[in-house]
Amino acid sequence: MKSVRSTCLSFLAFLAFLAFLVCGSAVAQSSGPDARQISDPKTITSASNPNARPIPIDDLYFTRSVSSASWSPGGKEIAFTTDISGRANLWKVNADGGWPIQLAQSDERQYGDTWSPDGKWIVFQQDTGGNELWDIFAIPSDGGAVINLSNTPEIREESPRWSPDGKTIALNTKPKEATVYDITLLDWATRKMTPLTHESTPNHLWQSVAWSPDGKTLYADRLEVSFTDADVYAIEVATGKTTNLTAHQGQVLNIASSLSKDGKKLLITSNEKSGYQNVALLDIPGRKLAWVTDTKWEASSGDFSPDGNWLTYTINADGRVDTYVADVATLHSEKIPVPGGVNGFAGYPSSFSPSGDRLLLSHESSVEPGDFWICHVSSRKSKQLTYSAIASLNSVPRSPSQIISYKSFDGKTISALLWMPFNLKRDGSNPALVLPHGGPTGQSGDYWSPRVAALVSRGYICIEANVRGSTGYGMEFQKANYQDLGGGDLQDEVYAAKFLEATGYVNPNKIGITGGSYGGFMTLMAIGRTPDIWAAGVEMYGIINWMTMLEHEDPMLQQYEMSLLGDPVKDRAAYNAASPITYIHSVKAPLLVLQGENDPRVPKEEAEQVVILLKRDGKTVDAHYYANEGHGFEKRENQIDSIRRTVAWFDKYLKGTN
């Protein structure tokens, strides 16, 4: 699950520029996942490039990342998060370009920045040691002392949203031991916090969307924790009264993203159309939907322009994402001409500049680090704003991803991203890696990944499959792993390995597997349940036992886990079948375990169980724990250390070179 909440903020290999695509009232797309053609593995080739060489690891990790951007009220500056200093801290840059200025310095990560309406302050969220117990901080926009506005070490406060008059900030809040997020109002003058919503069910959460122009209503989404059902609400700020604007039967996902200037329409994402995400306009008084897109690819709503004349959205087709601008009156759309890859609308609370003349975009691909771009709405011309790659990185050839599709064990079509290193011989001698993604409610996309770039440039053929349970292919596919974690989805990973072998490039005795979070779980499941496939594994913060996870993980994630596996008492058999601990004694592959000590999602106890059990069995296992890291490694020195350990492990057990 990628979001500000998971600090993925994040939130990324085509190199050619895309031309305009003019569409009708419903955007003209290929029909969606049903149109995928099965790939012939024999057509996969390794390109020749005499300049190819391993990319220096320091070059990859001293290349910066950018995220979490916000326009100043005057449209002259943009605040954002970057790790130029080796830490994800708050910076700002002139919207016309130039060298950024660091606003806040901390060993801790800072995200979710947004300017006050008068432009004098920027508020943001910051946690401690990766523990995700965010506090809300404020800093003068011209620089100065940082103020902790919330100062609640046992409560998460996230995604600050200013009221139009600048007197109140809406926050998404969750006490450490709570299972759900509610919305809380922070009074800017007094720092007093007042709950606005009072969720009574253990498996729903609230997130704010937009204030009405008069500040009397706050629009918000109420989501089921498995992200299979959601509604859009209007909340009276004075009384807390809630009105469901998208009431429905069954499970339907309705998520709002922006409010029109006149306060009469919400731009929403809905999968009411046969379980596939599309974009619609919700008429608030009439509670009627007018569809903007009609596709089986994953469409997501963006923002209204300040004048209400334009709206934005994205289309995600097999992990590559394009951005669109549509005329609100006619719903005619144009694709924004930026390089291909993973593109998105980067600004919070809006990607439109306050005057509406520009859009702030994010762009990345598997060969291009993430950067911000500015698109001029009238001309549709785009210009790169930030430059994250260091010069030496740009001198090294990088292998782009390619999208392939294959049939799994039961005939289901699975898509994957495949990276072929340069200069390989089709002689069945090469090592390869299967890279399961996190989630499982997530998707591998054409993102920039220093980890993948390091491995591919060192001769490892890599494949990331969007196995059953992934998002991006409709709700039926997303639910296809219910009570079957590490079952059908593991076989999808096994068949990814079979596809690699069928290319003729890969030695079947030199296939490894590595991933983090659910990808770490899948790595453990793979080497235990299908031990003869894998020659080595590296698992990062993965789950070994779903029952012990229930004891130690964040309470909201307990609800998420139960949405995937059922009741832990009644459905205990499903938990046991889905736990790698059930198969751990069958492991043959040497395993490296990497784990953050402060991980609130997959606690350290999971990694410790893996190491203890494998050592007891006399298996080859090693582990390293990172202090002051949570779910994933954000400090540059730890990122570098983890990939060096990973490369050394696979070089030893797949290449036999050390």
Superfamily of domain 397-655: Alpha/Beta hydrolase fold, catalytic domain (3.40.50.1820)
Burial 614-638 (b: 16+ CB within 10 A, else e): beeeebebebeebebbbbbbbbbeb
Q: How far apart are CA 560 and CA 183, in angstroms?
A: 20
Whether 10 shows a pLDDT value over 60: the answer reads: no
- pLDDT by residue (tens digit) across 508-538? 999 999 999 999 999 999 999 999 999 999 9
Q: How far apart are CA 382 and CA 376, in angstroms?
A: 6
Q: How far apart are CA 264 and CA 281, in angstroms?
A: 10
The two structure tokens encoding residue 472: 């991006």
The answer to whether 385 and 374 are in contact (CB under 8 A) is yes
The two structure tokens encoding residue 353: 């500049």
CA dihedral angle for residue 195, residue 199, residue 202, residue 208, rounded to 10 degrees: -80
State the greatest distance between any 2 C-alpha atoms of the chain, in Å, as a whole number. 71
The two structure tokens encoding residue 182: 């509610």
Q: How far apart are CA 511 and CA 214, in angstroms?
A: 60
Closest by Cα among 404, 410, 413, 468 to 436: 468
Closest by Cα among 11, 607, 2, 1 to 345: 11
The two structure tokens encoding residue 513: 């597997």
Taking the model in full, what pTM does it have? 0.93
Q: Which residues lie below 8 Å from residue 604, measured CB to CB, with a gap of 6+?
A: 595, 596, 597, 625
- pLDDT by residue (tens digit) across 267-294? 999 999 889 999 999 999 999 999 999 9
- pLDDT by residue (tens digit) across 370-429? 999 999 999 889 999 999 999 999 889 999 999 999 999 999 999 999 999 999 999 999
Mean pLDDT of 647-658: 91
Mean pLDDT of 558-573: 96
Q: What percentage of residues in the chain have a pLDDT greater than 90?
A: 93
Q: How far apart are CA 53 and CA 47, in angstroms?
A: 13
Query: Up-side HSE of residue 71: CA atoms within 13 Å toward CB?
Result: 24
The answer to whether 160 and 112 are in contact (CB under 8 A) is yes
The answer to whether 143 and 103 are in contact (CB under 8 A) is yes
Q: How far apart are CA 649 and CA 537, in angstroms?
A: 8
- pLDDT by residue (tens digit) across 450-491? 999 999 999 999 999 999 999 999 999 999 999 999 999 999
- pLDDT by residue (tens digit) across 313-366? 999 999 999 999 999 999 999 999 999 999 999 999 999 999 999 999 999 999
* Residue 572 pLDDT level (bands cut at 50, 70, 90): very high
The two structure tokens encoding residue 137: 């901080």
Supply the Cα-derived Rg of the chain in whole angstroms.
24
| Placement of tokens 């008068």 in the chain | 118
Closest by Cα among 322, 380, 377 to 354: 377
Alpha carbon separation from 332 to 258, 284, 322, 351 (Å, rounded)? 19, 22, 16, 20
Q: How far apart are CA 160 and CA 623, in angstroms?
A: 38
Amino acid found at 390: I
Q: How far apart are CA 60 and CA 57, in angstroms?
A: 5
Amino acid found at 81: T
- pLDDT by residue (tens digit) across 605-618? 999 999 999 999 99
The answer to whether 466 and 435 are in contact (CB under 8 A) is no
CATH class of the 245-391 domain in this structure: mainly beta
Closest by Cα among 306, 408, 299, 319 to 355: 306
Q: How far apart are CA 233 and CA 158, in angstroms?
A: 19
- pLDDT by residue (tens digit) across 574-600? 999 999 999 999 999 999 999 999 999
Whether 7 shows a pLDDT value over 60: the answer reads: no
What H or E segment, with its residue span, contains residue 391? helix 391-394
- pLDDT by residue (tens digit) across 146-169? 999 999 999 999 999 999 999 999
The answer to whether 421 and 466 are in contact (CB under 8 A) is no
* Residue 445 pLDDT level (bands cut at 50, 70, 90): very high
Whether 70 shows a pLDDT value over 70: the answer reads: yes
Q: 381 vs 81, which has greater pLDDT?
A: 81
* Residue 647 pLDDT level (bands cut at 50, 70, 90): very high
The answer to whether 513 and 527 are in contact (CB under 8 A) is yes
**DSSP designation for 400:** P
Which pLDDT value is given to residue 13?
A: 28
Whether 4 shows a pLDDT value over 60: the answer reads: no
Q: 67 vs 25, which has greater pLDDT?
A: 67
Amino acid found at 645: R
Q: How far apart are CA 496 and CA 512, in angstroms?
A: 12
**Domain segments of the chain as ranges:** 65-149, 245-391, 397-655
- pLDDT by residue (tens digit) across 11-48? 222 222 222 222 333 333 447 999 999 999 999 999 99
- What average pLDDT is seen over the chain? 93
Q: How far apart are CA 77 and CA 240, in angstroms?
A: 35
